[in-house]
Amino acid sequence: MPDKTRNNNGPRQLGHAGGAVVLLAALLLAISALGFIYHYIKSGPSTERVPTPERAALIQAPGEEDGGRPGPGAEAAPEDLGYPEESDFSSNGAGEGQETERRGTGDQRRAAALNESAVREARAGRLDEAAALLREAATLSSDPAILINLARVQARRGELEDAAISLEAASGDPGAQVELKRIYRMLGRERYSKGDLSGAAEFLEKALALDSSDRGLRAELARVAGEKEAEDMMGRREGSRFVVRFEGGENAVAGYVIGIILEEAYIKVGSELGLWPEERVEALLYSRDAFRDITRSPSWAGAIYDGRIKLPAGGITEKTALLERVIYHEYVHAVVKEASKGRAPVWLNEGIAQYLEGRSTSGYEEVLGRAAASGPGLKSLEGSFMGLRSDQAELAYLLSLSATEYLIREFGIFSVRNILENLGRGLGVDEAVHSAVHLTYRDFERAWKDSLARR
């Protein structure tokens, strides 16, 4: 009996002790939880992978230009002035690294998250949203990676001076200095394209000061200085919408004739496209030798547009059909540049110019049929034609006109304006085409080439 009592009491005593242990453990857990909550409130929530500027991808900069002549040629391509496309955003970059992730403040983590979101927005072509996110991030962190990203977005939006200001705030960072040199060069080329040679020289000098070893940049600056000296000696004829400059008094008549043709082009092209340039268009008339020397254009180029119309004008005394076509062609480039903010692919730029000067692909069906099967695609026709041989250039121009004719025939000429305006708003070529014709860029190209094969 006593043994039974002992056996019965033993378990009851152990049960009380176990309850005390459980209660103590619960109390300790509660204290730990309170400590976690306090830390959470104090430091902000953490995740398994906190984004940092290193992981959240710098927006890739455009490729560094070589030492070519200042400004794009007649077939100005998006990359000529360095505007990055949404497809150029890379996952490579620099930032504060993993140490920031482990030890960063709440502001740093917030800035890193904003930076990562901005990269996604920029890749999707939503540049306004990306810029707003990066500006907020820059108020929270002094990380140069954020300012570099902001400058690249601003450059793509055409806000080059703002991009320079962003980078100047981080000019002590080597990466920011590389970007700043690029932006100064872009600003120099932009000023050049507007005929502001003094402004062009000023920014090219700033770029050279950041890298005095860049021989291409030094040569570019020298050419701008030489061109300015030549232009200072030119005659000038001004109108409300056009400025015509010419070498020597013997070309004053040529300047008058070309001014009249430009006024006619303004009305005709504007009526066709519904686009009327707000900035005055400038035309420069050179002797044939000076034209080749200054523009460095290939032998097959009869005139060029590099932000200003340039053409050899020796012997022009009256309006001719050929002269009219040349002027219309180059004037269209000015319209396309302003509407697209300089981001139109060359095939569309040249295609519109040829279409509105009155050219046609009629009679070239056999050549186009062969090209549809084995010739270059539109992607390969997005960059400048200026380095092509004459036979390659002839085919490139023909394909450009054919694709543009198909675009207008199937979707209406208003689709051309829509694509240009989409590009001007910052969309990439793929998105600009899709938004205007409701076909992907690839499907549009396939449909165009199929139409050539059936001809």
Check whether residue 281 and residue 406 sit in a common domain.
yes
Q: Is residue 162 included in any domain, yes or no?
A: yes
User: What are residue 310's DSSP bridge partners?
Assistant: 284, 304
Q: Which of 200, 231, 262 is the last residue of a domain?
A: 231
Q: Is 277 left (phi over 0), alpha (psi -120 to 50) or beta?
A: beta
**Are residues 345 and 450 located together in one domain of the fold?**
yes
Q: Does 37 fall in a domain?
A: no
Write the CATH number for 247: 1.10.390.10
The answer on pLDDT for 32 being more than 90 is: no
Tens-digit pLDDT profile for residues 346-386: 999 999 999 999 999 999 999 999 988 887 899 999 999 98
Question: In this predicted model, what pLDDT tens digit does every residue of 138-148 receive, in sequence order?
Answer: 999 989 999 99
Domain match, 201 and 284 both: no
Q: What is the pLDDT of residue 295?
A: 80
Tokens of 189: 């080329």
382 and 269 share one domain: yes
CATH number at residue 89: 1.25.40.10
Question: Full-prediction pTM beyond 0.75?
Answer: no
Shared-domain flag, residues 207 and 252: no
* Count of structural domains, the chain: 2
Mean pLDDT, the chain, integer: 79
Contact (Cβ atoms closer than 8 angstroms) between residue 346 and residue 76? yes
32: in domain = no
The answer to the question of residue 73 being in a domain is no
Residue 29 lies in a domain: no
Which of 182, 199, 231 is the C-terminal boundary of a domain?
231
**Cβ pair 115, 131 in contact under 8 A:** no
Same domain, 308 and 324: yes
Domain boundary among 214, 231, 248: 231
Is 363 in the same domain as 420? yes
pLDDT tens column, 169-211: 998 899 999 999 999 999 999 898 888 999 999 999 999 999 9
* Statement to judge: residues 220 and 281 lie in one domain: no
Average pLDDT over residues 65-77: 35
Q: Domain check: are 248 and 395 in the same one?
A: yes
| Shared domain check, 176 and 269 | no
Task: Give the separation between CA 98 and CA 408, rounded to whole angstroms.
Answer: 53
- pLDDT, residue 185, reads 95
- Range(s) of the domain holding residue 272: 236-454
Query: Lowest-confidence range among 77-81, 250-254, 280-284, 440-444?
Result: 77-81
For residue 162, pLDDT beyond 80: yes
308-347: b (≥16 Cβ within 10 Å) or e? bbbbbbbebeeeeeebbbbbbbbbbbbbbbbbbbbbbbbb
| Sign of the CA dihedral running 17, 20, 24, 30 | positive
